């Protein structure tokens, strides 16, 4: 028994001696304690910077990660501004027991203006809007623009929560965005993604003046999201969700939105005039191909090739010709056709644009006055134009071809301002004025002169193309 005790004591002493020797002479071991609070910087950032210095290798960023800002604040700001829209064609409904479509919309003013897509409301004659707080309103259609697939509605309400327009030009590829809408009638749905590309043309809009310069994202957008908001992480509106590319009919990672800068101009025009005031440069354009770049001796494919210049158009009068390559508008680079179309679409007829272009390798500059896409001449600012705006309409001369068709000269009413003196007469765009206070007019300037001299009361006589009757409108300026 004594022998066993001595053996145990000897073993214990040996172990103690071994631990003592290891403590003094063994390798050091670092103990890491993981904090419950995430560190702001990587603990090894400065060490690696020192190690890699002078080796031509970029050291890792000292910041913990590139995680996005949380989306809670942005979502809370936007949700109350996004509405559900039910559009129906009551005539079609009565006949075929259908004709109802739904989508989303965005409140853009406290007094009830709502922007959505044209394809949400087209061919409908009755519109019902449901707010986030479940209130329901009947809406009035203010105007549509098929060229951008946008429409403007108005509900009779005050003090509504509304969204703030952001600057879509400042949006960058890779930036986080939120899509807010009502997919499949699921109210106030928020999805997140990044900006995948800008200036996308997917060839879905028809018409000579269609404008496709979409913001592409991978935020989930499904049927019912059309007309909803695309916002940045601050909750600012940067686009109106419009379309998806899909084989299944459901979201597959490609969604497209009309940029907010373009949407802002379109809805202002719809509010003020009932239609978009579309200014045009007066040129035909196409993308620069590699072959064109080589033929023109250019070092870059950035820019847009001018393949046609309209005779007597704004670009022609400013000195531009076929073969020019537009590279800047108002100081902003032009890289593609959609970009140029979007830039020009933000301005109205009569606005002057600074255009920079290449001709035979030399930089040229021009000041181009935009023409009305639906008119024969530019609408420059003047005393006469101010007077016409005060009355509430825009006029132009009939072209020679139009005079041949209708059989007589006159002055064409291009557009009518909302809530104006002319609108109160119930005149419609397309009216052709032949007399002002019983005096014959054949040109726009003749009509303006007589309007200015008319005095206390004005009577307009004229007709609408395709109708044999004449119509008279009277008002006090």
CATH of domain 72-155: 2.40.10.10
Say whether 279-372 and 168-273 share the same fold.
no
Q: How far apart are CA 106 and CA 146, in angstroms?
A: 18
Any idea which fold 279-372 has? Answer: Pdz3 Domain (2.30.42)
Q: DSSP letters of 330-390?
A: TTEE--SHHHHHHHHHTS-TT-EEEEEEEETTEEEEEEEEPEETTSSSB----HHHHHHHH
Q: Candidates 3.40.50.300, 3.30.2010.30, 2.10.109.10, 2.40.10.10; correct CATH number of 168-273?
A: 2.40.10.10
What's the pLDDT tens digit per position in 231-250?
A: 999 899 999 998 877 666 66
What's the pLDDT tens digit per position in 366-404?
A: 999 998 876 544 444 456 777 888 898 888 888 776 787
Q: How far apart are CA 171 and CA 73, in angstroms?
A: 19
Cβ neighbours of 266 (radius 10 Å): 29
- Please report the pLDDT score of residue 408 as a whole number: 84
Cβ atoms of 304 and 337 within 8 Å: the answer is yes
- Please report the pLDDT score of residue 35 as a whole number: 26
Low-confidence ranges of the chain (pLDDT < 70): 1-69, 91-99, 184-186, 206-209, 246-252, 374-383, 401
- Please report the pLDDT score of residue 311 as a whole number: 76
Catalytic center residues:
119, 149, 226
- Please report the pLDDT score of residue 99 as a whole number: 62
- Please report the pLDDT score of residue 298 as a whole number: 85
What's the pLDDT tens digit per position in 185-214?
A: 667 789 999 999 888 877 777 665 677 778
Tokens of 253: 């990672």
- Please report the pLDDT score of residue 169 as a whole number: 86
H/E element, 403: helix 400-406
Q: DSSP letters of 25-93?
A: HSPP-------SSPPSB-TTHHHHHHHHTTTT-PPPPSBS--PPPPSHHHHHHHHTTEEEEEEE-HHHH
Q: Indicate the class that CATH gives domain 383-475.
A: mainly beta
- Please report the pLDDT score of residue 156 as a whole number: 94
How is the chain split into domains, by residue range?
72-155, 168-273, 279-372, 383-475
Cβ neighbours of 298 (radius 10 Å): 17
């Amino acid at each position: 028994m004594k022998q066993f005790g001595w053996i145990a004591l000897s073993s214990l002493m040996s172990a103690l001696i071994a631990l003592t020797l290891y403590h003094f002479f063994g390798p050091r071991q670092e103990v890491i304690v993981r904090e419950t609070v995430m560190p702001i910087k990587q603990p090894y950032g400065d060490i690696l910077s020192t190690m890699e210095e002078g080796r031509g290798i970029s050291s890792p960023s000292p910041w913990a990660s590139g995680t996005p800002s949380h989306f809670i604040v942005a979502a809370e700001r936007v949700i109350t501004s996004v509405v559900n829209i039910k559009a129906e064609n009551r005539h079609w409904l009565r006949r075929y027991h259908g004709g109802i479509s739904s989508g989303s919309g965005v409140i853009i003013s406290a007094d009830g203006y709502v922007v959505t897509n044209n394809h949400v409301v087209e061919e409908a004659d009755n519109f019902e809007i449901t707010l986030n707080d479940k209130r329901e309103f009947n809406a009035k259609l203010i105007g549509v623009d098929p060229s951008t697939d946008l429409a403007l509605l108005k509900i009779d309400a005050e003090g509504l929560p509304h969204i703030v327009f952001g600057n879509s030009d400042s949006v960058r590829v890779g930036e986080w965005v939120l899509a807010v809408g009502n997919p499949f009638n699921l109210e106030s749905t928020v999805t997140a993604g990044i900006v995948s590309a800008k200036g996308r043309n997917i060839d879905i809009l028809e018409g000579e003046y269609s404008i496709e310069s979409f913001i592409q994202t991978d935020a989930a957008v499904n049927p019912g999201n059309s007309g909803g908001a695309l916002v940045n992480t601050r909750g600012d509106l940067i686009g109106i969700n419009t379309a998806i590319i899909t084989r299944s009919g459901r979201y597959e990672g490609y969604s497209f939105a009309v940029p907010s800068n373009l949407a802002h101009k379109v809805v202002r025009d719809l509010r003020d005039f009932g239609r978009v005031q579309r200014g045009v440069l007066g040129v035909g354009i196409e993308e620069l191909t590699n072959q064109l770049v080589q033929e023109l001796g250019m070092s870059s494919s950035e820019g847009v090739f001018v393949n046609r210049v309209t005779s007597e158009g704004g670009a022609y009068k400013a000195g531009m010709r076929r073969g020019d390559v537009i590279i800047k508008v108002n100081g902003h680079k032009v890289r593609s056709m959609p970009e140029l179309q979007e830039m020009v679409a933000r301005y109205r007829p009569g606005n002057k644009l600074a255009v920079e272009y290449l001709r035979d390798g030399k930089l040229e500059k021009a000041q181009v006055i935009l023409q009305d896409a639906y008119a024969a001449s530019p609408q420059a600012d003047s005393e006469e134009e101010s007077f016409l705006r005060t009355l509430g309409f825009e006029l132009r001369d009939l072209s020679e071809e139009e005079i041949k068709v209708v059989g007589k000269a006159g002055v064409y009413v291009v557009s009518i301002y909302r809530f104006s003196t002319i609108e109160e007469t119930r005149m419609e765009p397309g009216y052709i004025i032949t007399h002002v206070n019983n005096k014959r007019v054949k040109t726009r300037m003749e009509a303006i002169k007589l309007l200015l001299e008319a005095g206390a009361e004005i009577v307009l006589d004229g007709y609408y193309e395709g109708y044999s009757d004449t119509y008279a409108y009277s008002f006090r300026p």
